[in-house]
Amino acid sequence: VTGGLTLLAVEGVGPIGQGDDVAARLLAALATGGLMLCDGDVLCVVSKVISKAEGRFVDLSAVVPSERALALAEAVGKEPELVEVVLSDSAAVSRAAPGVLITRHRLGHVCANAGVDRSNARPAGAPADSGPWALLLPSDPDASARALRAALEAASGAQIGVVITDSLGRPFREGSVGHALGVAGLPALGDQRGDPDLDGRTLEHTVTALADQVAAAADLVAGQAAEGRAAVIVRGLSWAPDPAASSAALRRPADRDLYA
Amino acid sequence: VTGGLTLLAVEGVGPIGQGDDVAARLLAALATGGLMLCDGDVLCVVSKVISKAEGRFVDLSAVVPSERALALAEAVGKEPELVEVVLSDSAAVSRAAPGVLITRHRLGHVCANAGVDRSNARPAGAPADSGPWALLLPSDPDASARALRAALEAASGAQIGVVITDSLGRPFREGSVGHALGVAGLPALGDQRGDPDLDGRTLEHTVTALADQVAAAADLVAGQAAEGRAAVIVRGLSWAPDPAASSAALRRPADRDLYA
């Protein structure tokens, strides 16, 4: 359909363990699902898959909280070991209140608990008496996206974009929404400037968070399966490949943070 | 495809003028495009169409700024008449800085300039020497969504959801993203709680901003046309109709605003 968009779930990518080749797993899952990557497709991959392949697991029972983590844990009512892990992956605390710890992650994202995930965070083969476990965000989601794009383009022959996604909360709104943590090929921002309106005014609201919107759309598909779907193809989007694309364009710099 | 999602652009809804019957225009555009509404479809409609039908136009040359608007306009470097209009549609100022005026809109959304739109905001037939013009957000987007849903269900026989969307900025991230200003039928929030993970922990990050994600996805389609597409069908989403659905569930109450 002209002007339409199709989102296709890629089933059966997981479970992923430390050291697994995510590109190879994606290619196998695409083949099993009878899906072929086409020119212009954007493949969205949930960050958890990348984190697990990178072995970003933390056994909280082995964490020794700092004085700062102990004090902050008391203030927000969270486990000191978790707060220590959050602080170790953060550049600054944005807001702390009972039940809430929002930080500026070292990658620049402002989000709850530095994106640390407590669900299904146990590594395969971990002893039964280990943990509880937590999973950190990938160490460099843009680099992960670039590596996946290169491997998948080489294997498929298609020119694609890759977005590493995570579901994050928002400061003024309830509920989580898919966000782009890493991008490759697909420009992070979409620019609709340039066309004057009927009054001759330049159009406003014209820079869209293209990759965030793609991630939010993909989360509608990824989030609706009981076991989750680790990847979603977004097909039909109009975009021009940018070899220098980076998720950094989506993050408002700390010195422009109006809510610091 | 199992687990997939299709977004279909509805072309030719506009231009809309004050008093136009938006439901009738949507039905005509659907028929022209050969599109039929199906059970489970969510129809996303851009708020500008609703605002124009409601006649929410303001001729800024006729606005007399208050003392408060004059002072704030000076501080943010915006036209006093625009600031007056923004304040008149807002409950509180959230942040003001050079070039930036973020308010809590009377509907509860925290956004720049109370969502007041300066692009293509001139009403049809306005004298050439009138304006500049601005367009306010719809007066009650949930009520608009409910009315559209009732009219479109009656005409089509399909059970659908309706989301009134607008593209808004975010405090910590660059670029605008589609958000749900009004909903009908479709629950504003999606609940993925209840399933324990492999460790027996209840899943976290489980309340998704379903209607906001739908709006973000629709904006990928609506925003990619030179003249804009006023409506987008989201097909293939799994959801249970909620007659009491309201966008209020998406807005964090002011007393829970961590960045007040």
Range 109-128 of B in CB contact (< 8 A) with A: 109-110, 117-122
Q: Which residue has the higher pLDDT, B216 or A254?
A: B216
Q: What is the spatial distance between Cα B3 and Cα A8, in angstroms, rounded to a whole number?
A: 7
- Hey, what amino acid is at B151? A
Model ipTM value: 0.93
Summarised one tens digit per residue, pLDDT across range B17-45 is: 999 999 999 999 999 999 999 999 999 99
Nearest to B81 by CA among B128, B123, B120, B116: B116
**Strand ranges in B150-251 using DSSP code E only, listed in sequence order:** 161-168, 177-184, 190-191, 207-208, 231-235
pLDDT for residue B1 is more than 50 = no
For position B196, what pLDDT does the model report? 56
Chain B partners of A198 at a C-beta cutoff of 8 Å? 120, 122
| B71 vs A258: which has the higher pLDDT | B71
List of chain A residues with pLDDT < 50: 1, 205
Per-residue pLDDT at B187: 97
In this model, does residue B236 exceed pLDDT 80?
Answer: yes
A contacts of B190 (beta carbons < 8 Å) = 175, 223
Output the pLDDT for position A198.
54
**Chain B contacts of A177, Cβ < 8 Å?**
208-209, 212-213, 216
**What pLDDT, on a 0 to 100 scale, did the predictor assign at position A260?**
65
| DSSP state, residue B245 | -
In the predicted model, is pLDDT for residue B185 greater than 50? yes
Chain B 202-221, residues with CB within 8 Å of chain A CB atoms: 203-205, 207-210, 212-214, 216-217, 219-221
* Contact A105/B at CB under 8 A: no
**Residue B200 clears pLDDT 60, i.e. is over it:** no
For residue A234, which of A207, A250, A251, A210 has the smallest C-alpha distance? A210
Interface test with A, best of B32, B220, B237 (most A CBs within 10 A): B220
CB pairs below 8 Å between A and B: how many?
A: 234
Nearest CA in chain B to A167: B205
B61 and A CB contact within 8 Å = no
Report pLDDT digits (tens) over B113-161: 999 998 888 998 899 889 899 999 999 999 999 999 999 999 999 999 9
How is the beta sheet containing A110-112 ordered, strand by strand?
A: A90-97, A100-105, A110-112
| Per-residue pLDDT at B201 | 58
pLDDT at B144: 98
Query: Does residue A104 or residue B226 have the better pLDDT?
Result: A104
d(CA B148, CA B141): 10
Instruction: Give the C-alpha separation, B47 to B26, whole Å.
Output: 13
State how far residue B9 is from chain A, nearest Cα, in angstroms. Answer: 6
Residue in B closest to A95 by C-alpha:
B258
Q: What angle do CA B99, B105, B106 make, to 5 degrees?
A: 150
The answer to whether B74 faces chain A, any CB pair under 8 Å, is: no
Contact A251 B7 (CB under 8 A): no
Q: How confident is the model over B244-253, as pLDDT tens digits?
A: 999 999 998 8
Grade residue B50 by pLDDT with cuts at 50, 70 and 90: very high
Among A173, A237, A258, whose Cβ lies nearest the Cβ of B250? A173
Query: How far apart, in Å, are the Cα atoms of B23 and each of A116, B73, B144, B149, B209?
Result: 45, 38, 10, 9, 26
Report d(CA A96, CA A107) in Å as an integer.
19
pLDDT of A205 reads 47
Q: Can you tell me the mean pLDDT for B92-109?
A: 92
Minimal-distance CA residue of chain A relative to B178: A213
Q: How far apart are CA B187 and CA B231, in angstroms?
A: 19
Q: B126: alpha, beta or left, given left = phi > 0 and alpha = psi -120 to 50?
A: beta
pLDDT score for B205: 47
Average pLDDT, chain B: 91
- For the segment B80-101, the average pLDDT, to the nearest whole number, is 95
